[in-house]
């Protein structure tokens, strides 16, 4: 231990810059991995917390596609045998904050609205009504001192159902959470404007709920109303979203669930509320898996810094090691000394990394919550706190991998000969000859990578795709020495001619250090290749989406409600708005569409209704198969035919001609697949049926959007303004022109991928630190030669220039390898991982200009990373005796 302190810890403490850089590198790697875990957990947790918060004591819920018809409720009276049932309407609305005239989505705040029959619902959820008057016992009766700020509210003890009923007297009465009231300066009697779909309704606040039970949802953004008022508000007259069941005390939940399931008609499902959480988790799994895979890159690059630092340690102290060996220290102890150094760095890195993880997670949540909310679910969750599980995860990853990273230099240290080290001339001959073995192993691994791409998914996960990507990384990494050797042979004269003697020296130095440099170049190449691969994938994806949007967004105007749809929340348009659009003289055709959540084979998908005739006439869908899809779809009108998205087809192995058995309010029914179409708006999979068919089986549901086609020569903007002008104060639709919707689609797309670029940036920064470290190691290793160079007449500028050229060359070679590796990885991402994860066909597109810019930036950045080692090299003491 004393030797470890003196020989390892003291030098680490003395060389603060190098030690801090290494610890930071490991810390960033650990932080990124843990932060992504936290981020992933937060999006699930946000949904699950909301679910659990609102579910209260509900043990079983009865759900159906598109909800339940109220008329069916009497036929479910037998549920009383198992407990009490409470019908529920639950949805998101938007609290209107700004001026109605200039309303945009930014002026609205999402609130969760729960509509219940309070008589039945009191036992289900923990409603704690607050006192707002002076006399707490008569609080409910006197709780309407309009316009006055409430004194510190306190819970009303033993609030009765009757009292609750009295304050939810009509369809304009609501109870909100105290937290929301405080935040928005609202009091009992205040008006509250909320937007449901396209309708802006005014309500009067009749009571405040303590922040307990359901009032905690979405950080207090909770509004409670009577179920009839909610049906009116959400335009779900005659329907409920689900029937919550509170089982009799002591009942066996699983047994009762099975019993209820057995008695339910096939179109209805009984499930624990947590089931919806599991479905969301499954839905997000692919998104999360890709983020996790990306986060590992940063860690791997961070560990390469450990390799570097231990290498520098060994290189700088060969003579000391030789002395220790001469004095009797065994090889094994030398090995342990340097592994100990790696462990010390790893432990410090893990400690700092765990601290950083929380900060990164907050940033990552801010970046990904837009994606998760926009595409998947509405959440308002902060990342969970770090727990021992995360400490264990960080340690279990960081420590062994750090030891592995340090194994090569530690072994090298243990091989140092006492006599040779003492003489100071035992540095290895680093010149490399290209041997067949240098090509055989990497080419075999790369062939394996190709083979793995031919295998299908495992449980819906692109397991072999990930393995193939990993094999590409390993194979190319093993190929790096051969590539460098080849490049060294052909570049000598060019470098000497272009960059003079410094170019010649840089070439000579790098060539002689190929074994040492290969790991650095491979690590930098890996992180750069991921940048390249992701740039190609996202560029391709974006181009495909632009093309798809161009092909499918044919309508002139798109009319939608003010609130974005999310899982289980489909805001709708009211007849007033639909009529306002239909009546406009310039409107020639309307395609109305409506989506409902559909659980198919246990997975959450989407069932949509569209007007097939309008879609076919106006070419608003891009069909994948069959070749005569348009004819087949026209034939399907009125014939119980459906079209399915590519993602659905891929996920469930369905093709045209197959039959889907879907739950409908009228029981299970078979629908024949007429065609498969391209859809990049949803990776859950979509089934679309003609509006007439949908109406026949699912009832006349209000549409969630309209696409309007105008007469040729119309000015869409003018028509948009004219339609909006006909709407009264109580209706606010969002009408996008074709152009602005395309912009919106791409804006959402770009925000979705912001996190991937951020993760990549971290990996590249860590790799840059690695380049600086490697060069520093080389400078220390070559200090005798550098000294000699100075004796021979090289001035400090020439030495600096030489090292900076070396750094830039490392960057250029790494970026070159990264481009090739990235191209291969992008193929795997686009044609294997993406297809198996999301079921999307992406057309390959090379973002040439971006890659050129990135390559220049990398070379400049690595040259900058070389400045510190260059300064150290130029400052070396001049002595040939060194």
Partner 1 sequence: MEVMPALVADHLRKTYVSGESTVTALADVSFTVAKGDFVALMGPSGCGKSTLLHVCGAMDRASSGRIVLNGQDLATLGDDGLTRVRREQVGFVFQFFNLLPTLTIADNIALPCLLSGMHGATADARARALAERVGIAHRLSHYPQQVSGGEMQRAAIARALVHEPDLLVADEPTGNLDSENGAKVMALLSELNREMRVTVLLATHAADVAAAATRILHMRDGKFEGDRQT
Report strand pairing: 191-196 vs 130-131: unpaired
**468 lies in the binding site for partner 1 (CB under 8 A):** no
What is the rounded distance in angstroms from the CA atom of residue 805 to the CA atom of residue 491? 13
For 6-16, give one letter per residue: b (16+ CB within 10 A) or e: ebbeebbeebe
**788 lies in the binding site for partner 1 (CB under 8 A):** yes
Query: 3-state DSSP call for residue 99?
Result: coil
Give the nearest distance from C-beta 758 to partner 1 in angstroms.
40
Select 183 or 880, whichever has its Cβ closest to partner 1: 880
840 Cβ neighbours under 8 A, 6+ residues apart? 541, 544, 646, 647, 680, 683, 834
Give the nearest distance from C-beta 426 to partner 1 in angstroms.
13
Of 29-37, 328-336, 751-759, 792-800, the segment contacting partner 1 by CB under 8 A is 792-800
Q: Among 3, 501, 857, 860, which residue sits at the site for partner 1 (rule: CB under 8 A)? A: 501
Cβ-contact 698, 69 below 8 angstroms: no
Select 326 or 791, whichever has its Cβ closest to partner 1: 791
Select 339 or 789, whichever has its Cβ closest to partner 1: 789
What is the rounded distance in angstroms from the CA atom of residue 730 to the CA atom of residue 248? 44
Cβ-contact 224, 175 below 8 angstroms: yes
**297 lies in the binding site for partner 1 (CB under 8 A):** no
| Residue 339: both structure tokens together | 């592994």
Select 496 or 669, whichever has its Cβ closest to partner 1: 496
| Residue 802: both structure tokens together | 């030489």
What is the rounded distance in angstroms from the CA atom of residue 96 to the CA atom of residue 78? 42
Select 75 or 425, whichever has its Cβ closest to partner 1: 425
Select 434 or 860, whichever has its Cβ closest to partner 1: 434
Give the nearest distance from C-beta 762 to partner 1 in angstroms.
34
| Residue 513: both structure tokens together | 């250090």
Of 66-74, 369-377, 476-484, 873-881, the segment contacting partner 1 by CB under 8 A is 873-881
Select 512 or 752, whichever has its Cβ closest to partner 1: 512
Select 505 or 557, whichever has its Cβ closest to partner 1: 505
For 318-356, give one letter per residue: b (16+ CB within 10 A) or e: beebbebbeeebeeeebbbbbbbbbbbbbbbbbbbbbeb
Q: Among 309, 511, 525, 572, which residue sits at the site for partner 1 (rule: CB under 8 A)? A: 511
Give the nearest distance from C-beta 788 to partner 1 in angstroms.
5
| Residue 46: both structure tokens together | 């946000």
What is the rounded distance in angstroms from the CA atom of residue 366 to the CA atom of residue 152? 33
Give the nearest distance from C-beta 776 to partner 1 in angstroms.
18
What is the rounded distance in angstroms from the CA atom of residue 662 to the CA atom of residue 514? 62
**Residue 134 has what DSSP assignment?**
S
Q: Among 798, 841, 846, 867, which residue sits at the site for partner 1 (rule: CB under 8 A)? A: 798
Phi, psi at 129, each rounded to 5°: -75, 140
| Residue 573: both structure tokens together | 């348009």
Q: Among 332, 793, 848, 849, which residue sits at the site for partner 1 (rule: CB under 8 A)? A: 793
Report strand pairing: 603-610 vs 587-600: antiparallel
Give the nearest distance from C-beta 879 to partner 1 in angstroms.
8
Give the nearest distance from C-beta 756 to partner 1 in angstroms.
40
Give the nearest distance from C-beta 801 to partner 1 in angstroms.
11
Select 271 or 509, whichever has its Cβ closest to partner 1: 509
**785 lies in the binding site for partner 1 (CB under 8 A):** yes
Of 505-513, 523-531, 537-545, 646-654, the segment contacting partner 1 by CB under 8 A is 505-513
Select 77 or 425, whichever has its Cβ closest to partner 1: 425
CB burial of residue 585 (10 Å; 0-12, 13-18, 19+): exposed
Size of site (CB under 8 A) for partner 1: 27
Q: % helix / strand / coil in the chain, to the nearest 5?
A: 60, 15, 25
**154 lies in the binding site for partner 1 (CB under 8 A):** no
Give the nearest distance from C-beta 434 to partner 1 in angstroms.
16
471 Cβ neighbours under 8 A, 6+ residues apart? 445, 446, 448, 449, 452
Handedness of CA 375, 377, 380, 385 (dihedral sign): negative
| Number of residues that make up the chain | 882
Give the nearest distance from C-beta 439 to partner 1 in angstroms.
24
Give the nearest distance from C-beta 810 to partner 1 in angstroms.
16
**583 lies in the binding site for partner 1 (CB under 8 A):** no
**853 lies in the binding site for partner 1 (CB under 8 A):** no
Binding to partner 1 (CB under 8 A) within 403-462 occurs at 425, 429, 431
Select 105 or 431, whichever has its Cβ closest to partner 1: 431
Query: 3-state DSSP call for residue 759?
Result: helix
Q: Among 54, 79, 283, 505, which residue sits at the site for partner 1 (rule: CB under 8 A)? A: 505
Report strand pairing: 641-645 vs 587-600: unpaired
Select 488 or 644, whichever has its Cβ closest to partner 1: 488
**385 lies in the binding site for partner 1 (CB under 8 A):** no
**789 lies in the binding site for partner 1 (CB under 8 A):** yes
Angle between helices 318-326 and 331-371 (to 10 degrees): 140
Select 107 or 785, whichever has its Cβ closest to partner 1: 785
| Residue 248: both structure tokens together | 């009799």
Select 478 or 514, whichever has its Cβ closest to partner 1: 514
Select 276 or 790, whichever has its Cβ closest to partner 1: 790
Q: Among 294, 559, 794, 854, which residue sits at the site for partner 1 (rule: CB under 8 A)? A: 794
Q: Among 165, 422, 463, 508, which residue sits at the site for partner 1 (rule: CB under 8 A)? A: 508
What is the rounded distance in angstroms from the CA atom of residue 28 to the CA atom of residue 443? 32
Q: Which of 568, 622, 577 is nearest to 598 (CA)?
A: 568
Phi, psi at 66, each rounded to 5°: 75, 15
For 642-664, give one letter per residue: b (16+ CB within 10 A) or e: bbbbbbbbbbbebebeeebebbb
Give the nearest distance from C-beta 509 to partner 1 in angstroms.
5
DSSP alpha helices (H): ranges in 623-685?
Answer: 629-636, 646-652
Select 508 or 616, whichever has its Cβ closest to partner 1: 508
Cβ-contact 790, 325 below 8 angstroms: no
Give the nearest distance from C-beta 541 to partner 1 in angstroms.
46
Give the nearest distance from C-beta 849 to partner 1 in angstroms.
36
What is the rounded distance in angstroms from the CA atom of residue 700 to the CA atom of residue 665? 12
What is the rounded distance in angstroms from the CA atom of residue 58 to the CA atom of residue 371? 30
| Residue 794: both structure tokens together | 């090289």
**HSE-up of residue 851 (Cα within 13 Å, Cβ side):** 23
Q: x-or-dash pattern for partner 1, window 641-670, by CB under 8 A?
A: ------------------------------
Of 25-33, 44-52, 107-115, 496-504, the segment contacting partner 1 by CB under 8 A is 496-504
Residue with tokens 């995360």: 390
Of 298-306, 360-368, 375-383, 504-512, the segment contacting partner 1 by CB under 8 A is 504-512
Q: Among 289, 504, 758, 864, which residue sits at the site for partner 1 (rule: CB under 8 A)? A: 504
Give the nearest distance from C-beta 492 to partner 1 in angstroms.
9
**792 lies in the binding site for partner 1 (CB under 8 A):** yes
What is the rounded distance in angstroms from the CA atom of residue 250 to the CA atom of residue 387? 34
Select 431 or 583, whichever has its Cβ closest to partner 1: 431
Give the nearest distance from C-beta 473 to partner 1 in angstroms.
30
**790 lies in the binding site for partner 1 (CB under 8 A):** yes
Contact residues for partner 1, defined by CB under 8 A: 425, 429, 431, 496-497, 500-501, 504-505, 508-509, 511-512, 785, 788-796, 798, 878-880
């Amino acid at each position: 231990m004393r030797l470890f302190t003196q020989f390892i810890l003291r030098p680490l403490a003395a060389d603060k810059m190098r030690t801090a850089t290494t610890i930071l590198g490991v810390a960033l790697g650990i932080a990124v991995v843990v932060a992504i875990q936290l981020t992933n957990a937060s999006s699930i947790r946000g949904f699950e917390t909301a679910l659990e918060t609102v579910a209260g004591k509900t043990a079983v819920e009865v759900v159906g596609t598109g909800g339940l018809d109220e008329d069916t409720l009497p036929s479910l009276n037998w549920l009383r045998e198992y407990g009490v049932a409470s019908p529920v309407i639950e949805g998101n609305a938007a609290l209107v904050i700004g001026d109605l005239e200039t309303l945009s989505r930014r002026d609205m705040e999402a609130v969760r609205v729960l509509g219940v029959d309070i008589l039945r619902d009191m036992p289900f959820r923990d409603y704690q009504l607050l006192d707002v008057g002076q006399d707490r016992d008569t609080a409910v009766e006197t709780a309407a001192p309009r316009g006055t700020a409430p004194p510190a509210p306190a819970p009303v003890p033993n609030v009765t159902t009757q009292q609750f009923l009295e304050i939810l007297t009509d369809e304009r009465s609501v109870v909100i959470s105290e937290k929301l009231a405080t935040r928005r300066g609202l009091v009992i009697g205040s008006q509250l404007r909320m937007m449901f779909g396209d309708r802006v309704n005014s309500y009067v606040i009749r009571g405040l709920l303590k922040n307990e039970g359901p009032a905690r949802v979405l950080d207090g953004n909770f509004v409670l109303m009577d179920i009839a008022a909610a049906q009116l508000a959400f335009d779900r007259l005659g329907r409920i979203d689900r029937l919550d069941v509170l089982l009799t005390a002591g009942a066996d939940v699983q047994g009762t669930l099975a019993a209820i399931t057995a008695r339910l008609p096939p179109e209805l499902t009984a499930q624990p509320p947590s089931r919806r959480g599991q479905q969301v988790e499954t839905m997000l799994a692919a998104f999360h898996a890709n983020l996790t895979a990306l986060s590992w890159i940063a860690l791997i690059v961070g560990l390469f810094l450990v390799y570097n630092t231990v290498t520098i340690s060994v290189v700088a102290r060969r003579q000391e090691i030789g002395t220790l060996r001469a004095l009797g220290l065994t090889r094994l102890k030398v090995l342990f000394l340097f592994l100990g150094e790696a462990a010390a760095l790893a432990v410090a890195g893990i400690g700092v990394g765990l601290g950083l993880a929380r900060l990164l997670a907050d940033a990552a949540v801010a970046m990904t919550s837009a994606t998760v909310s926009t595409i998947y679910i509405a959440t308002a969750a902060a990342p969970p706190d770090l727990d021992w599980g995360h400490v264990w995860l960080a340690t279990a990853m960081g420590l062994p991998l750090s030891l592995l990273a340090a194994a090569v230099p530690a072994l090298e240290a243990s091989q140092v000969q006492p006599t040779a080290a003492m003489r100071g001339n035992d540095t290895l001959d680093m010149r490399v000859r290209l041997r067949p073995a240098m090509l055989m192993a990497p080419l075999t691994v790369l062939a394996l990578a190709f083979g793995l791409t031919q295998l299908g998914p495992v449980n819906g996960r692109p397991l072999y795709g990930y393995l193939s990507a990993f094999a590409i990384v390993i194979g190319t990494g093993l190929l790096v020495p051969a590539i460098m050797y080849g490049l060294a042979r052909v570049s000598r004269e060019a470098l000497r001619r272009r960059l003079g003697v410094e170019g010649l020296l840089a070439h000579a130095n790098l060539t002689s250090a190929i074994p040492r440099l290969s790991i650095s170049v491979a690590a930098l190449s890996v992180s750069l290749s991921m940048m390249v691969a992701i740039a190609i994938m996202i560029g391709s994806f974006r181009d495909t989406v632009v093309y798809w949007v161009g092909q499918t967004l044919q309508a002139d105007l798109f009319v939608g409600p003010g609130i974005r749809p999310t899982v289980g929340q489909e805001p709708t348009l009211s007849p007033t708005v639909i009529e306002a659009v239909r009546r406009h003289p310039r409107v020639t055709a309307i395609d109305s569409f409506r989506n409902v959540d559909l659980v198919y084979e246990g997975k959450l998908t989407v069932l949509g209704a569209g007007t097939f005739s309008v879609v076919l006439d106006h070419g608003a869908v891009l069909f994948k198969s069959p070749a005569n899809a348009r004819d087949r779809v026209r034939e399907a009108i009125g014939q119980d035919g459906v079209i399915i998205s590519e993602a659905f087809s891929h996920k469930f192995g369905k093709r045209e001609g197959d039959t889907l058995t879907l739950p409908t309010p009228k029981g299970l029914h078979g629908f024949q697949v007429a065609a498969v179409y391209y859809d990049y708006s949803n990776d859950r999979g979509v089934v679309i049926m003609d509006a007439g068919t949908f109406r026949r089986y699912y009832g006349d549901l209000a549409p969630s959007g309209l696409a309007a086609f105008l007469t040729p020569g119309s000015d869409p903007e003018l028509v948009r303004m004219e339609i909006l002008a006909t709407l009264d104060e109580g209706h606010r639709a969002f009408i996008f022109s074709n152009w602005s919707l395309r912009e919106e689609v791409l804006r959402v797309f770009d925000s979705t991928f912001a996190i991937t670029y951020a993760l990549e940036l971290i990996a590249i920064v860590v790799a840059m630190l690695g380049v600086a470290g490697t060069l520093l190691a080389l400078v220390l290793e070559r200090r005798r030669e550098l000294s000699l160079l100075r004796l021979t007449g090289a001035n400090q500028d020439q030495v600096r220039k030489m090292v900076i050229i070396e750094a830039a060359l490392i960057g250029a070679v790494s970026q070159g390898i990264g481009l090739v590796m990235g191209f291969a990885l992008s193929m795997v991402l686009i044609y294997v991982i993406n297809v198996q994860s999301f079921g999307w066909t992406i057309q390959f597109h090379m973002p040439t200009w971006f890659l050129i810019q990135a390559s220049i930036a990398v070379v400049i950045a690595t040259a900058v990373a070389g400045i510190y080692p260059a300064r150290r090299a130029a400052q070396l003491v001049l002595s040939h005796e060194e």
